[in-house]
Amino acid sequence: MQNTTSAIIITIGDELLIGQVIDTNSAWIARALNDIGIYVRKRIAVGDNKVAIQQAFDQSLSEAGIVLVTGGLGPTADDITKPLLCEYFESSLVTHQPTLDHIRHLFENVHKRPLTERNIQQAAVPACCTPLFNAMGTAPGMWFEKSSKILISLPGVPIEMQHLMTEQVIPRLREQCQHQFIEHRTLITHGIGESALADILVPFETQLPSSIKLAYLPNHGFVRLRLTQQSTEQPDVELIEKTFGQLKKIVADYLIWDRDEPLDQIIFGLLQTQNKTIATAESCSGGYIAHLLTRNPGISSVYKGSVIAYAYDVKTRSLGVPEQILQSYGAVSEETVHHMLLGILDEVQADVGIAVSGIMGPEGGTPDKPVGTVCIAAGDRHNPIIKTYRFRFNREKNIQLTALYALNLLRSFLTSSVS
């Protein structure tokens, strides 16, 4: 078994460096490696430049036992990773027949297009590597070993990378590599800033066992606190559980959840446990709350539907908001979102719901309702929670925060209703 307990991730592509594409691959890979006890030492992004890529390979292989590379395996001239790897490992290209058969099947039977020489070249791999068959695409992955080090090259297309990681890379790493034991415990707080939390937790941090570390992960009103225990032997689960219990007691006034789960998943679980259904009425968020909820598999068991009531007349016609309410208080008001909530609950016959209306910017604000003003109603017909918030960011961030605060308001309602 090889001594490869740490890894470096390299993502390749000019599109990553100019911000045209967001690098989600390295985050996904890091989580997958962490789950099997492989510590990610560093993440590197490089452009489609031969010298830069070679330097990244040299540096990474000198620092870590495992190097994972994504990108640059396509059929076009700017995809230079495969020929560079062939040169780097002093090898020559050979045809991987299972990949060629797969490509031929895709083009002749699925795409109904003629197979070109460029497509055929996708099946070529360095002779010194172990090819990783890619059932989700045409570019195979490649596994190289040299001097007790492992370099793995994967396609940059996320679904293809994730498939190869799950089906082939992770099982091979489990079998071949030494790994550490890593235990995490994470809780989520709201209503207190990172620095204030740090002040409260000074005595706790000074008394932490040497094997456990505390990390702060802030995100605009929410702060995750993560305890990590890392060792080469089986972790002391009892110790980290006891320490986590102490942490929860200290931050009890701000604690909203004791697992590292997104709010939409938390809401889904609460609705299932309480056997309640939900509906959403959205104005300023434009369906973003519905999007977050419906990304959860099985959500159809609790989610009834949504109305995106952006215009005044849709609020009155589809949700029954009285015109007098809109004229007297405006679309962005607690009175309006209250009626929006009642309207959506009646419209789709749901048990609980969320209604939001606000000014996302960059224009549209007034002195009494500046950009970032959001009104939210969450709960049932009888005793909903209704609040007004003022966010201070750009349009995209304000929409995201609207959704998070709305989901958290509903979480507060659901947890208080059973306490």
The structural domains of the chain, ordered by start, are 6-176 (3.40.980.10), 181-257 (3.30.70.2860), 263-416 (3.90.950.20)
- Cross-strand partners of 219: 222
**Token pair of 83 as six digits:** 């020929």
> Tens of pLDDT along 4-14?
579 999 999 99
Strand ranges in 253-326 using DSSP code E only, listed in sequence order = 255-257, 278-282, 303-308
Backbone angles phi, psi at 337, to 5 degrees: -70, -30
Q: How far apart are CA 231 and CA 95, in angstroms?
A: 43
What pLDDT was estimated at residue 1?
44
Question: Which residues have C-beta within 8 Å of that of residue 49, sequence separation ≥ 6?
Answer: none
Q: How far apart are CA 105 and CA 119, in angstroms?
A: 12
Backbone angles phi, psi at 158, to 5 degrees: -55, -45
Closest CA to 69 of 141, 138, 173, 174: 141
**Token pair of 390 as six digits:** 């003022």
What number of CA atoms fall less than 13 Å from residue 299's CA on the CB side? 18
Q: How far apart are CA 333 and CA 328, in angstroms?
A: 10
Q: Which helix (H) or strand (E) holds 42?
A: strand 39-46
Q: Which residues of the chain fall below pLDDT 70? A: 1-4, 417-419
What pLDDT was estimated at residue 418?
55
Q: Contact 24/158 with Cβ under 8 angstroms?
A: yes
Q: How far apart are CA 282 and CA 303, in angstroms?
A: 15
Report the 3 state secondary structure along 313-357: HHHHHHHCCCHHHHHHHCCCCHHHHHHHHHHHHHHHCCCEEEEEE
Q: Contact 364/284 with Cβ under 8 angstroms?
A: no
Q: Within 10 Å of residue 57's Cβ, how many Cβ atoms? A: 21
Strand ranges in 103-206 using DSSP code E only, listed in sequence order = 124-126, 130-132, 141-146, 149-154, 181-190
Q: How far apart are CA 73 and CA 81, in angstroms?
A: 6
Rg of the chain over all Cα atoms, to the nearest angstrom: 26
